[in-house]
Amino acid sequence: MDDLTALADADLRTVCGRLGVSFSGLGTGSVRQKGERLLARLAEQGRLAELPPELVRLRPYLAARYDQADPLNWIEQLDAAPDLSTPLQITANIARLHDVAAEPDAPADNPPPPGVMHEAPTAQWDSDRHPALHARGRATTAAAPGPYQPGDVLRTQALFFGRQAERQQLRAHLQEMQGCVIVGLPYSGKSSLVYQVLHYDLDPAWNGLPAFLELSQLRYTALPDLLNHVLAIWYGQMGQDSAPVVRDGADFARQVTYLAQGGYRPMLCLDALAYLFTQPFTVADGLLRQWRALQDAGHLALLVTSQAPPAAVLRQQAREPALTAGLAQIDLGLLDAADAHELVRQPAARHGVYLQPETVAELLALCGPHPFFLQLGAALLLAQPEGRRGVTPNLYARFAETAAPYFLAMWQALAPLQQSLLAAPLRPDPPIVVARQYRALARLGLLLRDEAGYRPFGSAFAAWLQARTA
């Protein structure tokens, strides 16, 4: 129950949609109350076993919790242990939840906002024309045996460390309704940064409506599916049970304008821009021009994450690169040393494990101040008792083997010139042209600079480079 009620309201709506349960039918109230009603309805229908897979789909690190000899044991605990205590003090059993579900739904206390719905199309969502959307499977690392989540979007605020300057920049751009681009290599934490800002850093009184689309996970059968999904997210955050249904980009642009005129601030985040062009439908320049026109008019804040500058991605897809010209760009590199230290230490402490300062220092030297590789190394550290005493040869070997495919993915995202520079010994006093490329690699988070010059960000990455070029 605590896993369910720890979700954001928008994520709970997603779970309901995938389970075929009406979110509006859960009535109003807190996430806890809605979660109780959802549990009751699933129990009434004998479908409680369908809930864990959907929770794991949203929070992959929960897989270890439900992947056990008796994966339905949690249901028995909920039903048979009335004294079971959770952070939300859920002490009622399934029978009591049945009573909650039997209560009539409270009427919506949020009337349609003025200037929006009365000008919008009134058609309801047509499940035949717009069937439920299913997430596409993705390759992830094995479920972490502890508080670390390598490879996943960090949706929990307490597990996100650092990036304060980037968070402040992004927040300022969004609250001025200015478009922004987050550029970084694979596994640099672009998606996590955007999710944290959209869900925790914006002023609620600002009337922001963020729509965070993980394009690498979702596939839409047609363009209206994507556009209507975005509208459903926005109107759900406004407290509406339904959203207008649009047929094309022009209809969508009108809806965005209505929302802006009604005092709302729609935000559209396209996470992993390149995947926008792998959908079964064609994203034409006309649609991108409409989105850019809405951005320029101050009606839509367009937020993009990408491994390469969006202009290069658009050029590769034979699209107009000028469509992203003028958008502010934030480059993601490595963490500050203090933030990297806390990323390792604090989650372990919350998990009941105190790591000696020497152990943390050894792990930082191995992984470097890189958020993904620190999470990966710390997860392996907690997975073996001897690893808690320090970075043992066994842990070093396991980390090097596990991290190698991710090192390769970052390598393959580089330009040939950058690859050639990393393949050669790094020069302590490089010429200006080479120094400029070293600085670019440092901004990407592959090189660190100290008194002796530039070096790879971690000892494991340095060893991987040496083995690759041997």
pLDDT for the residue numbered 53: 81
Tell me the sheet residues that pair with 213.
270
Angle at 211 between CA 140 and CA 305, to 5 degrees: 55
The answer for residues whose C-beta is within 8 angstroms of residue 30's C-beta and 6 or more apart is none
Contact 211, 230 (CB under 8 A): yes
Stated as kind and residue range, the H or E segment containing 13 is helix 9-19
Q: What is the pLDDT of residues 70-125, one digit of tens each?
A: 445 545 444 444 333 333 333 333 333 334 334 444 333 444 444 344 333 333 33
Q: How many angstroms separate the Cα of 278 from the Cα of each of 10, 53, 274?
A: 25, 26, 7
Side chain identity at 115, as an amino acid letter? G
Side chain identity at 391, as an amino acid letter? V
SS3 194: helix
Residue of 323, 261, 256, 259 lying closest to 286 (CA atoms): 323
d(CA 298, CA 266): 10
pLDDT for the residue numbered 63: 62
What predicted TM-score, i.e. pTM, was given to this entire model?
A: 0.68
Q: Which domains does the chain have, with CATH numbers?
A: 2-103 (no CATH), 160-331 (3.40.50.300), 337-469 (no CATH)
Q: List, for the chain, all residue ranges whose pLDDT scores fall below the cut of 50.
A: 68-71, 74, 76-145, 387
d(CA 72, CA 63): 13
Tell which phi-psi region holds residue 261, choosing left (phi > 0), alpha (psi between -120 and 50) or beta: alpha
Q: How many angstroms separate the Cα of 364 from the Cα of each of 101, 161, 243, 372, 409?
A: 50, 15, 48, 12, 21
Tell me the sheet residues that pair with 42.
none
Beta strands across the sheet bearing 265-271 = 208-214, 265-271, 301-306, 180-183, 328-331
Long-range contacts for 194-200 (Cβ within 8 Å, ≥24 apart)? 194/170, 194/269, 194/271, 194/303, 194/305, 195/153, 195/154, 195/155, 196/154, 196/157, 196/160, 196/163, 196/167, 197/167, 197/170, 197/171, 198/174, 198/267, 198/269, 199/8, 199/155, 200/157
pLDDT for the residue numbered 300: 96
d(CA 223, CA 227): 6
pLDDT for the residue numbered 6: 65
Neighbours of 351 (CB within 10 A): 12
Q: Is 429 exposed, middle or buried (0-12, 13-18, 19+ CB in 10 A)?
A: exposed
Rounded to a whole number of angstroms, the CA Rg of the chain reads 24
d(CA 201, CA 260): 21
pLDDT for the residue numbered 376: 94
Locate the DSSP E strands across 101-252.
180-183, 208-214
